């Protein structure tokens, strides 16, 4: 019976946190960029350009395999375009911790004429929460995830939380 109660609480907590994540993203995002969900991204990672909209210190702790750090505070569309293919229909997924900063970066790409740009719903936190691998600056798998700050860290349910 105890296992059943634990299982029920775990499912309820996960559903609750997903609902709150949806509310958080709705509060901070304009949703002008379509979301791509972790489950969908898992199936296409070889055919997509991944851009990390977090800062370099966050990226060094961990990031999605093959992602390119473009940052947020000093994001430059001019510099970013130089590393992207000339085909403006290339599939690009931008992510950050939760999907808030990445929307701004993705909007910049859309304004520059890129037509196939997505925002990763729940960002690297949701990626890790779904048991996916992240890698460190040496490209080795790691359990560490930079959580931006303690307030945002509540959204990371799996992995080791790093603040600095």
CB 41 within 8 A of CB 93: yes
Exposed (0-12), middle (13-18) or buried (19+): which is 32, by Cβ within 10 Å?
exposed
- Pair type for strands 134-135 and 68-69: unpaired
Residue 96 falls in the annotated catalytic set: yes
- The residues pairing with 50 across neighbouring beta strands, listed in sequence order, are 93
**Per annotation, catalytic residue among 96, 98, 117, 120:** 96
Q: Which residues of 80-113 are buried (b: 16+ CB within 10 A; e: fewer)?
A: bbeebeeeeeebbbbbbbbbbbbbbbbbbbeeee
Known catalytic residues are 96
């Amino acid at each position: 019976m105890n296992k059943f109660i634990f299982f029920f609480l775990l499912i309820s907590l996960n559903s609750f946190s997903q609902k709150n994540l949806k509310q958080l993203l709705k509060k901070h995002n304009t949703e002008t960029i379509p979301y791509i969900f972790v489950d969908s991204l898992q199936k296409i990672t070889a055919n997509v350009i991944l851009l990390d909209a977090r800062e370099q210190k966050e990226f060094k702790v961990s990031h999605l395999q093959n992602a390119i750090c473009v940052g947020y505070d000093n994001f430059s569309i001019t510099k970013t375009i130089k590393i992207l293919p000339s085909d403006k229909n290339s599939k690009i997924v931008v992510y950050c911790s939760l999907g808030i900063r990445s929307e701004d970066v993705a909007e910049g790409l859309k304004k520059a004429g890129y037509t196939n740009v997505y925002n990763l719903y729940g960002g690297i936190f949701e990626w890790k929460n779904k048991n996916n691998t992240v890698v460190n600056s040496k490209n080795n798998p790691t359990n560490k995830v930079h959580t931006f700050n303690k307030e945002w860290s509540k959204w990371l349910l799996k992995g080791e939380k790093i603040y600095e």
